[in-house]
Structure 1
Amino acid sequence: MDLNQLNSALLSMSAGMEGEVSIAIHTDEGSIGIDADVPRKAASVAKLFILGEAYRRLESNLLSFDKLVYIDHQSMVGGSGVISYLKNAHVYSYQNLIELMIIVSDNTASNALLDAIGMEDINHFSKSIGCQHTIIERKFMDIEAAEKGKDNITTANDVVCLLKLFSRENDYFPNKSRREILRILGDQQFNNKLSTFNPNTPNIRFYRKTGELQGVEHDAAIIEANGKRIEAAILTEGWKNNGTGQHYIAEVGQLIIDYLID
């Protein structure tokens, strides 16, 4: 399967879907975009931008990953993650929080990092790398802020723009930081979307971050196989049943795998 065939297959599969779909895919052969600049609720995909600004601060000596943080009970929130379920476990390093934020999408860890880094600086970082449509306005599981109309927004193209900085040499992140970022993304524990049909062979690797809310299903990934590399963001919303959205993204993942290993 070449890139044109992948594009045609994605267009065909996405036509008439119940949900609203945005797809951005970057490859060495070219790019694919389907409503890729349409703003969507970012859900936990927003955590990728926190990750990026955290490593920028590390390189600028503005944040020590070894520093310990105490998280009191009042700061713990529900949703995805493990911190709020652990008894008598309140002290974490920033390194721990970053890993928990990505690997198990921990909302409490993410909010602690938002406190340490600041939404304004994360938004500035997003704009500085060319992600003009991304904005972080509230903490995770902040229902009161959501009811006031505040939300975290991004686009498929913005997410791929960031993924490219994680996966390819650039002036923002030195190779050491990129290797650490990829290690964390590679340890992702939620594997029910783009990597659902992963053949689990040594020559294919996924580095991913998912996101979901009621009616919203996302996956963003760097995928490597057979000497090829792609960066992909699939942002979807408007599902009556989230399982339908997860299945759709899994089917997209199957097409991407076919493209990479063909």
Structure 2
Amino acid sequence: MKEIKRYLESRIGQYSFYFEDLDGGYIYGFNENVKMTSAGCMKLPVAMALFKEIENNKISLDTKLSICGDDKVFGTGIIHEFCERDYTVLELVIAMLIQSDNTAANKIIDVLGIERINEIIKDMGLSNTELNRKTMDEKNVRDVVENLTSSFDLCKCWKHLYKHTYLSEEHSNKLIDILRRQQLKNKVAFYIPENFKQTIASKSGDLEGIENDTSIIQIPKGNFAFTVMSKGVPNNVYGNVTVAKCGKMVWDIINNDWK
């Protein structure tokens, strides 16, 4: 893992990463507790907060919520292209996680409330994570208080899901299954062989100068959580290449050297 740290230190921008063998306990981090802008990665703890409230009988996956014109947010996702209609909570969480749909995320945030989501975030032990606002398209993200998290906290989310330590086994597995179908596997998973990509659950995020990705890698060698975060990268292609190279490096370490 030291080679990943050396690589990131050679790149333009500021970076953090965290790796954990979820079975063996090996950990390695670099700036892993530094709070950084979460971008779309915040949708992972938001989804976990939603499922906690489902377990608390506050809401159901079958609950229908109306999406009207005022709810629509551009940027990532596709719901903003559709006519006004009702969606189940399950449909919204799938859109939020697979397509990183901003409209779906905001509707879920509205239903739960930012204050309640932050309470659940703290209850999960995510001490570096703060939901400060709803999502918005990038042209409007100026002079706003950003949502924050850290590489350590995002990996802790995967650890909770893998070990069923915060949500039930059923709901933990459901979230991992949805996130395996995440459509934007162009970062950590980019260089990983195609026949293994389907085993990787991930949630990426990006804004101007920011490229993040967090993932759980589940293969015969073991189960591993890995997150890379960045800020101040010259452009998003540069950031994507950097995160993807880190993904290849961690894959090669696991595949070739892990015992």
How would you bin the TM-score normalised by the shorter chain?
over 0.9
- 1:25 is aligned to 19
Q: Contact conserved, 1:193 with 1:246, CA < 8 A, in 2?
A: yes
- 1:3 is aligned to none
Backbone CA RMSD of aligned residues: 1.8
- 2:75 is aligned to 79
Q: Secondary structure at the match of 2:125?
A: coil
The 1-side partners of 2:237 and 2:197 are apart by 29
The 1-side partners of 2:241 and 2:120 are apart by 33
- 2:227 is aligned to 233
Q: Contact conserved, 2:15 with 2:231, CA < 8 A, in 1?
A: yes
- 1:84-103 equivalences under 5 Å are 84-86=80-82, 88-103=83-98
- 2:152 is aligned to 157
- 1:4 is aligned to none
Structure 1 length normalisation: TM-score?
Answer: 0.92
> Aligned pair count?
254
The 2-side partners of 1:118 and 1:22 are apart by 29
Identity %: 26
The 2-side partners of 1:36 and 1:54 are apart by 25
Deviation digits for residues 122-166 of structure 1 (CA, Å, limit 9, x no counterpart): 111111121111111111017899555422111111111111111
Establish whether residue 13 from structure 1 lines up as the match of residue 7 from structure 2: yes
Q: Contact conserved, 1:203 with 1:225, CA < 8 A, in 2?
A: no
Structure 2 length normalisation: TM-score?
Answer: 0.93
- Of 95, 108, 114 in structure 1, the residue corresponding to residue 109 of structure 2 is 114
Amino acid at match of 2:40: S
The 2-side partners of 1:257 and 1:247 are apart by 15
Taking a change above 3 Å as real, the CA distance of residues 164 and 112 of structure 1, as seen in their structure-2 partners, is: same
Taking a change above 3 Å as real, the CA distance of residues 120 and 250 of structure 1, as seen in their structure-2 partners, is: same
Which ranges in structure 2 are unaligned for 5 or more consecutive residues?
none
- 2:207 is aligned to 213
The 2-side partners of 1:247 and 1:142 are apart by 23
Taking a change above 3 Å as real, the CA distance of residues 204 and 79 of structure 1, as seen in their structure-2 partners, is: closer
Report deviation, 1:167. 1.5
Taking a change above 3 Å as real, the CA distance of residues 165 and 219 of structure 1, as seen in their structure-2 partners, is: same
Report deviation, 1:17. 1.2
Report deviation, 1:260. 2.3
